[in-house]
Amino acid sequence: MISIPTIKRFPSYLRLLQYYKEKGFSWISATTLAEDLGLTAVQVRKDMAGTGVEGKPKVGFEIAPLIDAIMQNLGWDQPTDAILVGAGHLGGALARYEGFASYGLRIIAVFDNDPVKIGMKIGTITVLPMKELRQYIDEHSVHIAVMAVPAATAQELAEDLVSFGIKAIWNFAPKDLKLPAYVIVQRTDLATSFAVLSAKCKQLLSCGQSAKNELV
Amino acid sequence: MISIPTIKRFPSYLRLLQYYKEKGFSWISATTLAEDLGLTAVQVRKDMAGTGVEGKPKVGFEIAPLIDAIMQNLGWDQPTDAILVGAGHLGGALARYEGFASYGLRIIAVFDNDPVKIGMKIGTITVLPMKELRQYIDEHSVHIAVMAVPAATAQELAEDLVSFGIKAIWNFAPKDLKLPAYVIVQRTDLATSFAVLSAKCKQLLSCGQSAKNELV
């Protein structure tokens, strides 16, 4: 089992390795990786040990197999299908975000319970009604759901999703979910991130609109 | 100074308070807030103390002043202007994401160095060339920049932004920035979030495309 901190660094390694590969390099040293990512060479070697790819003295790691191994460890080597629930502003942006493709995430269906949104097209995907969730998850054997719904409906929806067979939830709703321990939950909350930035900015630097007036 | 954990909870309080306000309530108890958010009443009272709004025995907190106080503490009571750098898929999605408005964040300009993107419209905003960054920041007294650029260019861009007068950076680039301590940096990395979800899913549950075949 690879540690979570190592997994968190894998996407950065991946981008760097792909960059060097595109530049025509075939081998890379732990020292180069370490310098580029601001890590110690010892940490890089530990992280690389988790991939199963062994380095060689003087030349370091062969780039192509290392990319493959990291992709495989992340589960990014084959497309992972996910459904997205919530076709609001954030849901719409996530459904259209093509960057997911580079890490193998494929949004195959979008659900909402707003009659105005049902039937609407987001890119090539048609928004389906929530009442079809159970059948869709069952028929397509989807295990991952991306939730972009309001806080108020998040817990109930998450419980439904789990009962329909969802095993992993990427939660963009601003709400901590209480779910059985076997369910994998990853939370990303844009409002909370901005709250911290905004409050620090206000407290420490008097950021914001008023600053312009202060200068007058 | 309000603690970071309290600030992180403020957006959740805010949504809940707005929900109760819309339902016609004027007062709310610490116990109700605590139950809805999965916190202890003691924690809620501590958090509320930071807002300066005092609760009253039996009735609790008056909702409207509490909303105002939290908004003010977060700096969300007045619009905060920010620029966005990077008009790729994520940058485009962020520039279009109307949810930012509810926490007072207003993207007033988008910059990119790709000639194809410069002059392009994202909603009502025209993409400007990076070479105009310095002048724009100066003329508009902007203090916050949202960065949605590739990892490879993030550090250099961040240093430029700081030298142009930016004080706070919301970094969506998959790269830890090394900046002077007085610069406020908040990082949101979608790839890293998904990496953790995807790797756990693969390791623990054999999530992903192969699951369907296993069932056959």
In tens, the pLDDT along A141-172 reads: 999 999 999 888 899 999 999 999 999 999 99
Inter-chain CB proximity B195 and A38 less than 8 Å:
no
pLDDT band with cut points at 50, 70 and 90 for residue A208: low
- State yes or no: pLDDT of A87 exceeds 70: yes
pLDDT band with cut points at 50, 70 and 90 for residue A207: low
- In angstroms, the CA B130 to CA B149 distance is 12
- In angstroms, the CA B140 to CA A192 distance is 26
Contact assessment for residue A145 and residue A95, using Cβ atoms and an 8 Å cutoff:
no
In this prediction, residues A130-140 reach a mean pLDDT of: 96
- State yes or no: pLDDT of B211 exceeds 60: no
Quick one: pLDDT at residue A215? Answer: 29
pLDDT band with cut points at 50, 70 and 90 for residue A117: very high
Flag whether A213 is in a domain: no
**Domain shared by B49 and B107, yes or no:** no
Q: A101 vs A86, which has greater pLDDT? A: A86
**Nearest residue on chain A to B102, alpha-carbon basis:** A191
**Nearest residue on chain A to B212, alpha-carbon basis:** A141
SS3 category, A184: strand
**Domain shared by B126 and B158, yes or no:** yes
Q: A103 vs B7, which has greater pLDDT? A: B7
- The full DSSP string for A7-44 is HHHHHHHHHHHHHHHHTT--EE-HHHHHHHHT--HHHH
Q: Which residues of A touch B77 (CB under 8 A)?
A: none
CB within 8 Å of B74: residues ≥ 6 apart: A195, A198, A199, A202, B7, B10, B11, B14, B103, B104
Helices vs strands, H then E, count in chain A: 9, 9
**Domain shared by A157 and A142, yes or no:** yes
Calculate how close chain A gets to B113, using CA atoms only, in Å: 19
Quick one: pLDDT at residue B127? Answer: 97
- Rounded to a whole number, what is the distance in angstroms from the first to the last CA of chain A? 59
Quick one: pLDDT at residue B203? Answer: 73
**Domain shared by A105 and A68, yes or no:** no
Q: B7 vs B1, which has greater pLDDT? A: B7
Calculate how close chain A gets to B50, using CA atoms only, in Å: 13
Q: B15 vs B174, which has greater pLDDT? A: B15
**Domain shared by A182 and A106, yes or no:** yes
- State yes or no: pLDDT of B19 exceeds 60: yes
In this structure, the dihedral spanned by the alpha carbons of residues B197, B199, B203 and B206, taken in order and rounded to 10 degrees, is 70
Calculate how close chain A gets to B42, using CA atoms only, in Å: 19
Quick one: pLDDT at residue A66? Answer: 97
Quick one: pLDDT at residue B176? Answer: 80
**Domain shared by A65 and A109, yes or no:** no
Closest partner residue to A197 (CB to CB) among B93, B176, B184 is B184
Q: What is the DSSP letter of A60?
A: B
Inter-chain CB proximity B143 and A76 less than 8 Å:
no
**CATH number for A42:** 1.10.10.10
| Other CB atoms within 10 A of residue A175 CB | 25
**Domain shared by B103 and B169, yes or no:** yes
- State yes or no: pLDDT of A30 exceeds 90: yes
- State yes or no: pLDDT of B155 exceeds 80: yes
- In angstroms, the CA A142 to CA B209 distance is 8
Q: A116 vs B212, which has greater pLDDT? A: A116
- Rounded to a whole number, what is the distance in angstroms from the first to the last CA of chain B? 59
Flag whether B47 is in a domain: yes
Calculate how close chain B gets to A188, using CA atoms only, in Å: 7
Closest to B11 measured CA to CA, from B59, B60, B75, B56: B75
Give residue-wise pLDDT tens across range A165-197: 999 999 998 778 989 988 999 888 887 888 888
What range defines the domain where residue B156 resides? 80-193
**Domain shared by A60 and A98, yes or no:** no
**Domain shared by B67 and B128, yes or no:** no
pLDDT band with cut points at 50, 70 and 90 for residue B205: low
- State yes or no: pLDDT of B212 exceeds 70: no
Half-sphere exposure of residue B175, counting CA atoms within 13 Å on the CB side? 22
**Domain shared by B12 and B63, yes or no:** yes
In this prediction, residues A119-137 reach a mean pLDDT of: 95
Residue whose entry in the numeric block shows the structure tokens 């025209």: B126
pLDDT band with cut points at 50, 70 and 90 for residue B74: confident
Q: Which of residues 143-182 of B touch A (CB under 8 A)?
A: 143-144, 150-152, 167-168, 170, 174-176, 178
Range from A31-45, B131-145, B146-160 carrying the lowest mean pLDDT: A31-45
Query: CB contact, 8 Å: A121 with chain B?
Result: no
- State yes or no: pLDDT of B102 exceeds 80: no
- State yes or no: pLDDT of B216 exceeds 70: no
Quick one: pLDDT at residue A210? Answer: 43
- The full DSSP string for B54-111 is PPBTTTBEEHHHHHHHHHHHHT-SS-EEEEEE--SHHHHHHHH-GGGGGGTEEEEEEE
- Residue A123 sits at φ, ψ, to 5 deg, of 60, -120
**Nearest residue on chain A to B82, alpha-carbon basis:** A208
Question: pTM of this prediction?
Answer: 0.71
Flag whether A209 is in a domain: no
Q: Angle between the B41-49 and B4-22 helix axes, to the nearest 10 degrees?
A: 100
pLDDT band with cut points at 50, 70 and 90 for residue B46: very high
Residue whose entry in the numeric block shows the structure tokens 């994520």: B90
- State yes or no: pLDDT of A211 exceeds 80: no
Query: CB contact, 8 Å: B106 with chain A?
Result: no
Closest partner residue to B205 (CB to CB) among A167, A193, A212 is A167
What is the percentage of chain A residues whose pLDDT exceeds 90? 49
Flag whether B13 is in a domain: yes
**CATH number for B148:** 3.40.50.720
- State yes or no: pLDDT of B210 exceeds 60: no
β-bridge mates for residue A85, sequence order: A111, A147
Closest to A18 measured CA to CA, from A57, A66, A51, A82: A66
Average pLDDT, chain B: 87
What is the bridge-based pairing of β-strands A168-171 and A61-62?
Answer: unpaired
- State yes or no: pLDDT of A98 exceeds 60: yes
- State yes or no: pLDDT of A95 exceeds 50: yes
Flag whether B209 is in a domain: no
In this prediction, residues A48-76 reach a mean pLDDT of: 92
Q: Which residues of A touch B4 (CB under 8 A)?
A: 196
Quick one: pLDDT at residue B208? Answer: 53
Tally of domains in chain B: 2
CB within 8 Å of A34: residues ≥ 6 apart: A40, A41, A43, A44
Domain-ending residue, one of B46, B74, B102:
B74
pLDDT band with cut points at 50, 70 and 90 for residue B190: confident
Quick one: pLDDT at residue B44? Answer: 92
Inter-chain CB proximity B194 and A103 less than 8 Å:
yes
